[in-house]
């Protein structure tokens, strides 16, 4: 007869121990870092997915369970290597979900195939998956075109690949508008400078201001139509509709709210993350694995004066959470969404 304990607790699926994983010399972290360094157009979620695809292609695997175990272990290794793992987790979780679904819903033509044939089929489809994800920016640009009014002023903050594509597409569609680049504390970066040059070449007037001058700049705009708007990108979108963004975006959201100026977020749906923050502060970021410290006290005068540069010495900006009540809409490749719709989109994606 079964014991009471065995009736109360359902059996769990055993996880293979680490020493049973297939051996591989592939360094998933080094491959990911090389992708980010060599390709300025690639996003962290896509780089993470491509790294995992390369891992599967370079490792000798014989069973589905080996494949999933290898994927899980190296996904965790990849996340642990990053100061801000949230964008990567969007990619690793989505790819693992895609792989499980592919194994479960294999085409009838492969129903009786051996594992190697099935594996090659899935790797081929994975490349198509990445290709479709990369096409999201242009689809977002199409969705955003009605937002770009003639003679309007568009504010943006920092650098976003999606926002650059969006503005360029609008300019190529013969929309005439002005763009104000609000610069973060580190100033004008090479990527922002290239974005400005590209827009100027298309005949779009631009200017730059510091984030400290934002309130004054907004007060200086003419009161007539069309109204100004803010369009920013995001590194991740959380389950409650809040976004992970470069430090300073939360402050901008509060300012635009005070001026009744809409804040729109242009973002790919593959950046949606199944993570519900309890708040919007440093502790909430820490719970999601983000390691950063903006308050570094010292009695060394020289170190104190250069503290901001040291915090950004790895080339990766600090991030923060911008809450959903400051966001008017999210412009995605699947259409225009409200922050409240993100949880529903995640349910569709995962279930």
**Residue 348 has what pLDDT?**
82
Q: Over 60: is that where the pLDDT of 63 sits?
A: yes
**Residue 312 has what pLDDT?**
44
Question: Can you tell me the distance from the alpha carbon of 144 to that of 153, in angstroms, rounded to the nearest whole number?
Answer: 15
Q: Over 60: is that where the pLDDT of 7 sits?
A: no
Average pLDDT over residues 318-325: 95
Question: Which is more confidently placed, 85 or 308?
Answer: 85
**Residue 8 has what pLDDT?**
41
- How confident is the model over 80-134, as pLDDT tens digits? 999 999 999 999 999 888 888 877 776 655 555 667 777 777 787 777 778 888 8
- How confident is the model over 218-245, as pLDDT tens digits? 999 988 789 999 999 999 999 999 999 9
The CATH number fitting domain 137-350, selected from 3.10.105.10, 3.40.50.10470, 3.40.50.720, 3.40.50.1170:
3.40.50.10470
**Residue 133 has what pLDDT?**
83
Beta bridge partners of 156: 181
**Residue 11 has what pLDDT?**
39
Q: For 3-17, 128-142, 143-157, 304-318, which range has the lowest pLDDT when averaged over its residues?
A: 3-17
Q: What is the mean pLDDT of the chain?
A: 86
Q: Over 50: is that where the pLDDT of 313 sits?
A: no
**Domain coordinates of the chain in residue numbers?**
18-134, 137-350
**Residue 256 has what pLDDT?**
96
What percentage of the chain has pLDDT greater than the value 90?
63
Question: Which is more confidently placed, 308 or 77?
Answer: 77
Q: Which helix (H) or strand (E) holds 178?
A: strand 177-183
State the number of CA atoms in the 13 A half-sphere of 45 facing the CB.
26
The gap between the terminal CA atoms of the chain, to the nearest Å, is 37
**Residue 106 has what pLDDT?**
67
Beta bridge partners of 210: 183
**Residue 262 has what pLDDT?**
97
Q: Classify domain 18-134 at the CATH class level.
A: mainly alpha
Q: How far is CA 63 from CA 18, 19, 108, 121, in A?
A: 16, 16, 19, 14
Q: How many CB atoms lie within 10 A of CB 6?
A: 10
Is the distance from CB of 250 to CB of 323 less than 8 angstroms? yes
Reference 96, options 141, 132, 48, 139; nearest CA is: 48
Average pLDDT over residues 136-141: 95
The radius of gyration of the chain's CA atoms, rounded to the nearest angstrom, is 23
Q: Over 60: is that where the pLDDT of 309 sits?
A: no
Average pLDDT over residues 128-157: 92
Q: What is the largest CA-CA distance in the chain?
A: 81
């Amino acid at each position: 007869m079964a014991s009471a304990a065995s009736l109360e607790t359902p059996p769990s699926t055993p996880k293979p121990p680490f020493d049973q994983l297939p051996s591989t010399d592939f360094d998933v972290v080094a491959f990911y870092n090389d992708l980010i360094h060599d390709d300025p157009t690639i996003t962290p979620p896509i780089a993470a997915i491509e790294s995992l695809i390369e891992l599967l292609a370079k490792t000798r695997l014989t069973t589905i369970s080996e494949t999933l175990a290898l994927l899980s272990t190296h996904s965790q290794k990849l996340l642990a290597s990053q100061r801000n793992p949230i964008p990567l987790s969007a990619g690793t979780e989505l790819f693992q979900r895609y792989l499980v679904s592919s194994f479960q819903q294999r085409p009838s033509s492969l129903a009786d195939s051996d594992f190697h044939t099935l594996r090659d089929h899935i790797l081929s489809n994975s490349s198509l998956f990445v290709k479709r994800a990369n096409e999201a920016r242009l689809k977002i640009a199409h969705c955003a075109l009605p937002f770009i009014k003639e003679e309007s002023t568009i504010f943006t903050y920092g650098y976003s690949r999606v926002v650059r594509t969006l503005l360029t597409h609008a300019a190529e569609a013969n929309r005439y508008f002005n763009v104000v680049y609000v610069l973060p504390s580190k100033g004008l970066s090479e990527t922002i400078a290239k974005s400005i040059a590209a827009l100027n070449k298309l005949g779009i007037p631009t200017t730059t201001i510091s984030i400290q001058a934002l309130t004054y700049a907004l007060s200086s705009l003419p009161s007539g139509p069309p109204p100004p708007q803010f369009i920013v990108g995001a590194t991740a979108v959380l389950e409650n509709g809040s976004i992970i963004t470069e430090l300073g975006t939360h402050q901008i959201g509060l300012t635009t709210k005070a001026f009744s100026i809409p804040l729109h977020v242009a973002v790919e749906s593959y950046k949606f993350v199944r993570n519900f923050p309890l708040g919007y502060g440093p502790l909430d970021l820490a719970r999601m694995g983000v390691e950063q410290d903006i308050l570094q006290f010292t009695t060394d005068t020289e170190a104190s004066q250069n503290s901001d540069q040291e915090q950004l010495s790895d080339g990766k900006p600090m991030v923060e959470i911008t809450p959903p009540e400051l966001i008017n809409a999210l412009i995605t490749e699947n259409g225009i969404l409200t922050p409240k719709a993100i949880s529903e989109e995640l349910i569709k994606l995962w279930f």
